[in-house]
A and B are shown apart, each in its own frame.
Chain A
Amino acid sequence: MNLFVLLKTVPDTVEELTVAADNKSLDAEWLRFKLSDADEHAVEQALLLKERAGGKLTVVALDAPELDDSLFTVLAKGADRVVKLAGDLGNLQSFSAAALFAAFLKGEADPPPADTLILLRSQAMDDLEGEIGPVLADCLGLPYVGVVTGVQPDGGTVTVTKEFAGGLRGEFALPTPAVLGIQSAEKPPRYVPIAKVRAAMKSAALETVDVTPPEAGARFPIEKMYKPEAAGRAEMLEGSPEEVADRLVELLAQQSLI
Chain B
Amino acid sequence: MSNDPVAIRLLGVPGVAVLWILTLLAFGVFGRRAWQLVSLLRRARPENRFDHLGQRLGRVLRHVLLQPRLFNERSIGLPHLLIFWGFLVYVGSFLWALGRGLFPFVPVPYPDEVGLVGFLLEIFGVVVLAALAVAVVRRAFFPPRYLHLSWDANLIISLIGLLMLSSLFGSAFRAAAAGVGPSLASPIGGALAGLFRGLPQARALDGARALWWLHVVIVLGFMVYLPYSKHLHLLASPFNVFFGNLRPAGDLTLAGAAEESAAGAAAWNEFTWKQLLSGFSCAECGRCDRACPAANSGFPLEPQQIVQKLKKHAIATGLKPPKKGEEAVALIGGVISEAELWACTSCMSCMERCAVLNEQLPIVVQLRRHQVAEGAVEKNLQDMLANLTRYGNSFGKSDRMRAKWTQALGSKIKDARKEPVEVLWYVGDYASYDPRLEEITRKTAQLFQLAGLDFGILYEGERNAGNDVRRVGEEGLFEMLREKNQQVLGKAQFKTIVSTDPHTYNTLKNEYGFGGNGVAVLHSSELLDRLVQEGKLPLKRKLGGRVTYHDPCYLGRYNEVYEPARRLLRGLGVDLVEMPRNRNRSYCCGAGGGRIWMEDVPGIKERPSESRVREAAALPDVSTLVVGCPKDIAMFRDAVKTTGTESTLAVRDLAELVWDAVQG
Interface residues of A (CB under 8 A from B): 14-16, 34, 188, 190-198
Contact = CB atoms under 8 A, between A and B. Distances in A.
A195 B262 contact: yes
B398 A194 contact: no
Contacts of A197: 476
B390 A193 contact: no
Nearest to A190: B375
B389 A191 contact: no
Nearest to A34: B390
Nearest to A197: B476
Contacts of A14: 391, 396-398
Interface in B339-375: 372-373, 375
B263 interface: yes
A191 B263 contact: no
Which interface residue of B377, B398, B480 has the most chain A CB atoms within 10 A? B398
Contact of A195 (B377, B385, B391, B475): B475
A132 B373 CA distance: 34
Contact of B389 (A16, A188, A194, A196): A194
A194 B476 contact: yes
20 contacts: A14-B391, A14-B396, A14-B397, A14-B398, A34-B390, A188-B379, A188-B382, A190-B375, A192-B375, A193-B372, A193-B373, A193-B475, A194-B389, A194-B474, A194-B477, A194-B480, A195-B262, A195-B263, A195-B373, A195-B476
B30 to A, nearest CB: 43
Contacts of A15: 398, 400
Interface of B: 262-263, 372-373, 375, 377, 379, 382, 385-386, 389-391, 396-398, 400, 474-477, 479-480
B371 to A, nearest CB: 10
B398 A196 contact: no
B507 to A, nearest CB: 17
A188 B390 CA distance: 19
Contacts of B480: 194, 198
A197 B389 CA distance: 11
Contacts of B479: 194-195
A195 B469 CA distance: 13
Given A191-B375, A192-B375, A193-B474, 6 more contacts: A14-B391, A16-B398, A34-B390, A191-B377, A196-B476, A197-B476
A198 B386 CA distance: 15
Contacts of B373: 193, 195-196
B238 to A, nearest CB: 37
A34 B391 CA distance: 12
Nearest to B259: A195
A196 to B, nearest CB: 7
A225 B385 CA distance: 34
A198 B379 contact: no
Which interface residue of B377, B390, B396, B474 has the most chain A CB atoms within 10 A? B390
A16 B398 CA distance: 8
B476 A193 contact: yes
A207 B476 CA distance: 25
Contacts of B375: 190-193
A191 B385 contact: yes
A201 to B, nearest CB: 11
Contacts of B372: 191, 193
A246 B651 CA distance: 42
A202 B385 CA distance: 22
Nearest to B388: A194
The 7 closest A-B pairs by CB, nearest first: A195-B476, A194-B476, A194-B477, A190-B375, A191-B375, A191-B382, A191-B377
A43 to B, nearest CB: 13
A190 B385 CA distance: 12
Contacts of A196: 373, 476
A192 B382 CA distance: 9
Nearest to A199: B476
Contacts of B263: 193, 195
Contacts of B474: 193-194
Nearest to A195: B476
A168 to B, nearest CB: 25
A134 to B, nearest CB: 30
B396 A193 contact: no
A34 B400 CA distance: 16
A14 B402 CA distance: 13
B563 to A, nearest CB: 39
B504 to A, nearest CB: 20
A28 to B, nearest CB: 15
Contacts of B382: 188, 191
A17 B624 CA distance: 43
Nearest to A16: B398
B82 to A, nearest CB: 50
A195 B385 CA distance: 13
A15 B377 CA distance: 26
A193 B397 CA distance: 21
Nearest to B386: A191
A60 to B, nearest CB: 22
Which interface residue of B379, B389, B476 has the most chain A CB atoms within 10 A? B476
A191 B400 CA distance: 25
A195 B398 CA distance: 24
Nearest to A73: B389
Contacts of B475: 193, 195
Which interface residue of B262, B263, B375 has the most chain A CB atoms within 10 A? B375
Contacts of A16: 398
A195 B478 CA distance: 10
Nearest to B477: A194
B621 to A, nearest CB: 40
A187 to B, nearest CB: 11
Contacts of B390: 34
A35 to B, nearest CB: 11
Given A14-B391, A192-B375, A193-B375, A198 B398 contact: no
Contacts of A190: 375
A192 B474 CA distance: 10
Contacts of A193: 263, 372-373, 375, 474-477
A190 B376 CA distance: 8
B487 to A, nearest CB: 16
A192 B375 CA distance: 5
Which interface residue of A14, A191, A197 has the most chain B CB atoms within 10 A? A191
B289 to A, nearest CB: 30
Nearest to B469: A194
A34 B390 CA distance: 9
A197 B390 CA distance: 13
B253 to A, nearest CB: 15
A71 B136 CA distance: 64
A238 B590 CA distance: 42
A167 B477 CA distance: 37
A16 B401 CA distance: 10
A193 B386 CA distance: 10
A188 B378 CA distance: 10
A164 B479 CA distance: 44
Contacts of A188: 379, 382
A188 B475 CA distance: 23
B77 to A, nearest CB: 44
